[in-house]
Amino acid sequence: MRLLLLMTLTLCLSFAGCAPTISNLGEYHAIQMSQADFMPAPEQLKSAKTKIVVFPLSESNIAIAQKSNLGTVTAGAVENQLSGGAVELVDRQSAEKLQQEVMLSEINNHGTYNGPQVADFAISGNVDKATFGYKYSEAYTTRDSKGNTSYHPAQFTYSANVSGKIKIIQLPSLEVVKTIAFADSVGMSEDAHGRVPTQDSGTPLVVKAATDAIHSARIDLKNYFAKKGYVLEKRTKKDDAIYKINLGSEDGLMTGDICQIYTINRTVNAITQEESTEELLLGEGTVSNQMGANYSWLIIDDADLQAPIRLGDYVKAKYSKGFLEGFSLDALK
């Protein structure tokens, strides 16, 4: 079993090391592209980052959540997950009026913000559960087959659990447009050494459970706020095709990221002659090593696209958990 796990891990790491590489752009030839049914306006190609203000989450009158300051801890963890990407974080100290309006809208289940437009979205939410507990195990000795004895000192085993919800609120309507659940638990053990744990000693573990819980929710957060970009150019070399888009490192993209490519088609009802639109996912591309602050080149691995990619089709990053995430090295011991 251990050998199988080691082989699997080695294989996974070897695949992870195979970065999508375009060695020489000059070897690719520009190809004329047909235009999408709905071309982006010039201002859409240079759209500003989405502004977000993150407020402390409600601690729901949970004593250990209040003692651990989980409202501010979770807000900081949300900011850490969103920073450096496609959003601009607004200092919450400059949005006190907005915070009051958000709190009132959550109580009354409706409302509209009429103050200064400091952000496009607000993030709030609540900690629903925060617990800390411990178990005492007495010291004991064991004897192996050769008669050797081993002493195992008394231990305390600690556990902490945190769960709750993140609410993404659109401004100025104060409408909750998405709710993301978060939850995690952590534990640890240590020699007792005659000490007696208290609820105060659980604060660091509760904080870790909270930050781990927000980390587990980061994919939904990042996907919701992924910036929309557009296809600008196509180049080919033999059977290989690459596409330039107007998103780059300043938009949070990194080599190896996956981007989904969409087109918006205009359709006409054959009976009523009414026009409508439909959105179609064409396929996915991988961000290559050829990228800058505001552009990158996608490598298209899918040869069976739903339809040809056209100039002006839009793209969004698709974030997902890493293949090795959650893989326990304890299994190798």
Kindly give the confidence (pLDDT) of every residue in the chain, 333 residues in length, as a single tens digit, with 9 standing for 90 and above.
555 544 544 444 444 445 688 989 999 999 999 999 999 999 888 878 899 999 999 999 999 999 999 999 999 999 999 987 789 999 988 888 888 888 877 766 666 777 778 899 999 999 999 999 999 888 889 998 888 999 988 898 999 999 999 999 999 888 999 999 999 999 998 888 777 777 677 899 999 999 999 999 999 999 999 999 999 999 999 888 999 999 999 888 999 999 999 999 888 888 988 988 889 999 999 999 999 999 999 998 766 677 889 999 999 999 887 644 544 434 444
Residues 6 or more apart in contact with residue 245 via CB below 8 angstroms: 229, 230, 231, 232, 259, 295, 296, 297, 298, 315
Is 207 in a helix, a strand, or coil? helix
How many beta carbons lie within 10 A of that of residue 104, not counting itself? 13
CA-CA distance, 320 to 333, in Å (whole number)? Answer: 28
* Whether the predicted model's global pTM rises above the 0.85 cut: no
CA-CA distance, 259 to 245, in Å (whole number)? Answer: 10
State whether the Cα torsion 87-96-128-107 is positive or negative: negative
pLDDT value, residue 324: 43
In 145-227, which ranges are E strands? Answer: 149-152, 155-170, 175-191
What is the residue whose two structure tokens read 């801890």?
Answer: 73
Sketch out the chain's domains with CATH numbers.
Answer: 24-47+228-318 (2.40.10.410), 50-225 (3.30.160.150)
Amino acid at 253: L
CA-CA distance, 185 to 212, in Å (whole number)? Answer: 8
Contact 199/176 with Cβ under 8 angstroms? no
- Nearest residue to 318 (alpha-carbon basis) of 212, 196, 229: 229
In 192-333, which ranges are E strands? Answer: 228-237, 240-245, 258-268, 275-291, 296-300, 314-318
pLDDT value, residue 199: 67
- Nearest residue to 243 (alpha-carbon basis) of 271, 195, 283, 186: 283
pLDDT value, residue 13: 40
Give, for 121, the enclosing helix (H) or strand (E). strand 121-137
CA-CA distance, 238 to 240, in Å (whole number)? Answer: 6
